[in-house]
Amino acid sequence: MMKVDLKKIVEGIEFQGDESQSYLKISSGEVVLFADEAIAAAKSDEDLSVHAEWYREAIVQAREFINNEDDYIPLPSKYEFHEYSVMEEFILSLPIEEQRDELLSLIKGKGAFARFKHGLERFLLQEKWYQYRDQALAALAKGWCRDNGIEFQ
């Protein structure tokens, strides 16, 4: 297999939702996302002609997946990326005590993510946060690649 683009793995992890899962297609190195609904439709004998073209294509892809599941490896789910822990690590890495203390207090309880983002804006740390978060996602993707014997670039 060719080397897989690590950015594509990261995007595949990020774009998943509660009702979708991303996979690496081993034979091509392509990252694909399947909605649970498309998988369910692919398993049925449903008449595809009643659907929009984009949905028909999704069902055809899902059928190819079902028929060749051994050619696909599931990417880490969005739940394997513990963003709250990454937020804590980011905050603790900040050199200014005032920022650390305030941001740590903001991430307690319900609404933590929204309050955290407002705190980032207040301290002008948005760019630094997204770089840190991207590095953490890349580390997860690299670990997944190594665990699955996938070469990446």
pLDDT at 2 over 80: no
Long-range contacts of 144-152 (CB under 8 A, 24+ apart): 144/9, 144/75, 144/76, 145/4, 145/6, 145/9, 148/24, 148/73, 150/1, 150/4, 150/24, 150/73, 151/1, 151/2, 151/3, 151/4, 152/3, 152/4, 152/5, 152/6, 152/9
Can you give the pLDDT at residue 1?
Answer: 63
Average pLDDT, the chain: 94
* Per-residue pLDDT tens digits for 24-69: 999 999 999 999 999 999 999 878 888 899 988 999 999 999 999 9
- pLDDT-derived band at 120 (thresholds 50, 70, 90) equals very high
CA 100-104-105 angle, 5° bins: 120
* Per-residue pLDDT tens digits for 75-86: 999 889 999 999
Can you give the pLDDT at residue 130?
Answer: 97
